[in-house]
Amino acid sequence: MPKRNTQVKLWTKPLFGLFAALALLASAGASVSYDIRVDTSSLAGSQGHLDFGLIGLNDSPLAGASITGLSGGSLLGPVQLDGGAAAVAGGWALDNGQAFNAVFGAWQFGQQLGFRLTFSGDWQTNPLGSGNTFAFKLWNQAADATLLTNDGNGDLLRFELLPAGRIEAVTFDRDGQGHGSPVSITAVPEPETAAMLMAGLMVLAAVKRRARGG
């Protein structure tokens, strides 16, 4: 009996390594999602414009971005789709197939703007080439000034999608006076990865119970 317990304990570390590796494999090449929230309480009741853009260079790996679940206000008419932009169920999709890819639309602001942002494409596994840039801006009603940011490009939020799956997210101070960014970013676990990790944890828990009870 003690011998069996020793064998079970020795298997715990390989099992952990196995499920960790499987989780990494499941997430490789999968989409990457974020929930974005923007405090627009200072703009509530006014009108402006939403501006989503995805830009790559000639040697950038393929990249895509989708914007879904838009909330916290209302669209004022149809949106303008440029380059590799298209309407999809519940929102829009962008790809970097052209030099300029954007979604631009008039918006009635509420207290808090929210949407789900999902990235996909070869940039996650391809180690070569230049990065892609996703940027989000808010414009005033006349579309001649950006809102809630002190960034020189007018970006409220920027994601750099770098080769081999690296991501850099940048937000900007709302007014240059140290009041912080109105943007919050929350990573969303992909269902496949979460399921794999849960399965691994369940097996490890069963192994530990068996080791203690033997």
Rounded mean pLDDT, 52-76: 96
Most confident of 25-34, 141-150, 170-179, 204-213: 141-150
| Distance linking the first and last C-alpha atoms of the chain | 7
The pTM (predicted TM-score) of the whole model is 0.77
Are 54 and 94 within 8 A, CB to CB? yes
pLDDT at 177 over 50: yes
pLDDT at 172 over 80: yes
pLDDT at 196 over 60: no
Q: pLDDT tens for residues 128-150?
A: 999 999 999 999 999 999 999 99
**Which residues contact residue 139 at a Cβ distance below 8 angstroms, ignoring those fewer than 6 apart?**
48, 49, 50, 51, 145, 146, 147, 154
Domain ranges of the chain: 32-193
